[in-house]
Amino acid sequence: MVTINFTLNGRAVSCEVEATEVLVDMLRGRFGLTGTKKACGTGDCGACTVLLDGTAVRSCIYLAAMADGHDITTIEGVGSMEAPHVVQQAFADAGAVQCGYCTPGMVLTSIALLNRNPHPTEAEIRAALSGNLCRCTGYQKIIEAVQLAAARMDGN
Query: How confident is the model over 17-49, as pLDDT tens digits?
Result: 999 999 999 999 999 999 999 999 999 999 999
Rounded (5°) CA angle 43-84-37: 25
Q: What are phi and psi of 144, to 5 degrees?
A: -65, -35
Local confidence band at 155 (pLDDT 50, 70, 90 cut-offs)? confident
Full residue range of the structural domain in which residue 106 is found:
86-153
User: Is residue 43 left, alpha or beta, with left meaning phi > 0 and alpha meaning psi from -120 to 50?
Assistant: left
Please give the helix or strand (H or E) that residue 58 lies within, else none: strand 55-58
**Sheet order of strands, 2-8 included:** 11-17, 2-8, 71-73, 49-52, 55-58
User: What CA–CA distance (Å, rounded) separates 4 from 32?
Assistant: 17
Which among 89, 117, 123, 116 is positioned nearest to 103, based on CA atoms? 89
- 63 with 104, same domain? no
Say if 80 falls within a structural domain: no
- Confidence at residue 37, expressed as pLDDT on a 0 to 100 scale: 96
With a cut of 80, say whether residue 126 has pLDDT above it.
yes
- 97 with 131, same domain? yes
Say if 69 falls within a structural domain: yes
Say if 41 falls within a structural domain: yes
Q: What percent of the chain has pLDDT over 90?
A: 94
User: What CA–CA distance (Å, rounded) separates 82 from 67?
Assistant: 30
Which among 153, 12, 119 is positioned nearest to 70, based on CA atoms? 12
- 57 with 117, same domain? no
Over residues 3-23, the mean pLDDT reads: 97
Q: pLDDT tens for residues 42-82?
A: 999 999 999 999 999 999 999 999 999 999 999 999 999 99
Instruction: Output the pTM of the full model.
Output: 0.95
Say if 95 falls within a structural domain: yes
